[in-house]
């Protein structure tokens, strides 16, 4: 059976860990040639090796998504000799951590760092992905948001502002580029079970986070990747400008 994404190409930012890595693995398994981008080369190399060992095609490029030239270079690498970029999965980001501060007490430096990576980084990736996709007349972009993209989260001013901005960018770009055959969507992700998720957090904190999800658990990375693949595929061909909750009911409250 022909692979669903045979002959396609994708750029996945934040492709060395977590949701980004899971999305890269799933896209490659479906026949896509994947370029993973991120700051830590060793993690990117690990993702590429996993894909190659599974029979897929991948490469990596070091990229700081807050730096415009770095992002432009990463998109150029992803396009490569094929001359096309079918999918952009913008997963690079940093979390709000657990150092909760009310808005007036939130560090300006921390706020700026969050905006630079989570919001500016998404904007820059979209900017250069969209330019390429506009020239070819097709493409699908999936931005990775979170519950903090659509609801307030006490103590997380910077993270919440950045993630809300990601949804605004998603919707605006969907309107701007729908006529060009480009779809732009976002995933509203719940808490995802990655190796670092429990690091430095007490069992009580983790229990509270899990309890905030009505399904009574947090997600596995492949569950986010499944949603990414659907939004990239022709099975979602009439879906654009949406913020799709994949959050175990977290935002249903």
The set of catalytic residues is 159
Q: Is the dihedral of CA 114, 115, 119, 121 positive or negative?
A: negative
Residues 148/156, Cβ–Cβ less than 8 Å: yes
Residue whose structure tokens are 């994708």: 10
- Whole-angstrom distance, CA of residue 43 vs CA of residue 34: 15
| Strand 182-189 relative to strand 243-246, pairing | parallel
């Amino acid at each position: 059976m022909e692979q669903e994404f045979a002959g396609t190409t994708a750029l996945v930012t934040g492709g060395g860990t977590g949701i980004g890595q899971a999305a890269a693995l799933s896209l490659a398994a479906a026949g896509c040639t994947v370029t993973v981008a991120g700051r830590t080369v060793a993690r990117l190399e690990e993702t590429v090796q996993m894909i190659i060992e599974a029979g897929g095609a991948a490469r990596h490029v070091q990229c700081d998504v807050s730096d415009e030239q770095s992002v432009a270079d990463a998109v150029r690498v992803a396009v490569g000799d094929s001359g096309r970029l079918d999918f952009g999965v913008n997963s690079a980001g940093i979390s709000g951590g657990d150092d909760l501060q009310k808005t007036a007490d939130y560090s300006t430096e921390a706020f700026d760092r969050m905006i630079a990576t989570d919001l500016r980084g998404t904007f820059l990736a979209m900017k250069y992905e969209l330019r390429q996709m506009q020239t070819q007349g097709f493409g699908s972009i999936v931005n990775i948001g979170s519950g903090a993209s659509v609801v307030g989260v006490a103590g997380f001013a910077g993270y919440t502002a950045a993630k809300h901005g990601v949804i605004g960018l998603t919707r605006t770009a969907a309107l701007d580029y729908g006529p060009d055959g480009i779809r732009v969507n976002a995933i509203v992700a719940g808490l995802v079970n990655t190796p670092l998720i429990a690091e430095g957090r007490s069992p009580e904190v983790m229990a509270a986070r899990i309890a905030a999800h009505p399904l009574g658990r947090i997600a596995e990375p492949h569950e986010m990747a499944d949603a990414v693949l659907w939004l990239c595929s022709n099975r979602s061909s009439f879906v654009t400008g949406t913020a799709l909750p994949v959050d175990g009911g977290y935002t249903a409250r």
